[in-house]
Amino acid sequence: MANVRVRFAPSPTGHLHIGGARTALFNWLFARHQGGEFILRIEDTDVERSKEEYTQAILVGLKWLGLDWDGELYYQSKRLDLYRAAVERLLAEGKAYYCSCSQEELDAMRGEALKAGRKPRYDGRCRERRDHPADRPKVVRFKSTDVGMTVVDDLIQGTVTFDNSELDDLILVRSDGSFTYNFCCVVDDHDLGITDVIRGGDHLNNTPRQLQLYQAFGWEAPEFIHMGLLRNQDKSKISKRKNPTSLDWYREKGYLPEALLNFLGLMGYSMPEGREVFSFDDMVREFSWDRVTTGGPVFDLEKLAWLNGEYMRAMPAADFARRARAAGVVPPEFDEAKFLAAAPMFQERVKTFSELPEHMAYFLGELPYEPGDLLPKKKDQPIHDAAATREILLGVERCLKTAAEWTAPAMEDSMRTFCETCGWKTRDLFMTLRVAITGRTVSTPL
């Protein structure tokens, strides 16, 4: 068996999609598990939509996740001569042809097919045509096989059969001279020695066209592995209307890359013994396609937040403090030693770094609050009035002034003893103290 060589091939027409990050992860995991190579190829042949800023966002995102690639970084825009040579070969061998059909002709074909209850497809009228009008733009089409079946043996989806009569003659080169996706990726995957194509299930319908191109060139096709697409809670395809889809959003919101990778590793995959928290090394060591499900996993943002919180609580306080400052959420005036001392309290409360400013605020200054928040309540009705609450707070002040030591256990014991003497319940006193000290009804542990 050839050494495993996989690729992740994003298009820089937008920021890296969270589903794309998952595809990159599973390519990377398979390559590392097999001791193979993970190749990165930027598919930037769409000149109008491809932008350098998106390319850089993709590279930054992959590096942030720790998904390193092997060898050089490939750009399709720098491989145009390779595509031209491949097209010329197909033309010379009679496996591709020029098509000068106007848009009006194509629209008429579509209309006739729909009227007859057929699937719209190009009817091949230019296959033998030689008299192309000089003033009409031309495309290059592939002479696809229109009889029989094309069978895709997919490692996850199983055997999928496509009727060749429904596959029309694929455009290889557009009228502006640019090359199409299905054509370029076949030429690239062969040239780069890709052994396994791992991608989202939305590409499954492209596969029979690509297999026919492999056959036309006389090349051995790679193994195909199509993963289920991420879904919203309502089982619809994940979209930015219902879930944040850009990887940048998760980085900016203060999620940890290792937690996000763990979460993406759970999407349509199960670890031995059903473990939900596991490391990068665990994923590589235990990886198996047998554990990947065929369906589309549900993307649960609440579960990601829970998982991120688990990682934050497990982190040494010094690492938490360092990474919080690196995330840009800790103001410079927050003394480094004091922030480090408070870090364990923050770790108990926050699930992402973006939540830190709210919990740090009372460490940096006195916060305003509604006086009524000081009054302990039951079913939204005060249990004690303002005068009684004021006396209790003065009593707490006296108690703390005479405390033998200022440690959390000692002060908690002192407050519990105080409650026994004054007749207040501890939960009521602690809520009043929380508001008095922090200005918040929810805060880090007292």
pLDDT value of residue 85: 98
Banded model confidence at residue 274, pLDDT cuts 50, 70, 90: confident
Q: What is the average pLDDT score of the chain?
A: 92
Bridge-partner residues for 173, per DSSP? 140, 179
The string of pLDDT tens digits covering residues 1-40 is 469 999 999 999 999 999 999 999 999 999 999 999 999 9
Rg (the chain; Cα; Å): 31
pLDDT value of residue 340: 96
Domains contained in the chain, CATH given: 5-227 (3.40.50.620), 247-355 (1.10.1160.10), 371-438 (no CATH)
Catalytic residues: 240
pLDDT value of residue 367: 80
pLDDT value of residue 93: 98
pLDDT mean over 141-152: 96
pLDDT mean over 134-138: 91
Q: In what order do the strands lie in the sheet with 223-227?
A: 158-163, 149-154, 223-227, 196-200
Can you read off the two tokens belonging to residue 318?
């010094």
Candidate ranges 1-10, 92-101, 121-130, 385-394; pick with highest mean pLDDT: 92-101
pLDDT mean over 358-383: 85
DSSP summary character for residue 237: B
Q: List all residues 6 or more positions away from 3 whose beta carbon is below 8 Å from its beta carbon.
A: 34, 35, 36, 37, 195
The string of pLDDT tens digits covering residues 195-248 is 999 999 999 999 999 999 999 999 999 999 999 999 998 888 887 777 889 999
pLDDT mean over 169-193: 96
pLDDT value of residue 2: 64
Length of the chain: 446
| 265-292 residues labelled b (16+ CB within 10 A) or e (exposed) | bbbbbbbeeeeeebebeebeebbeeeeb
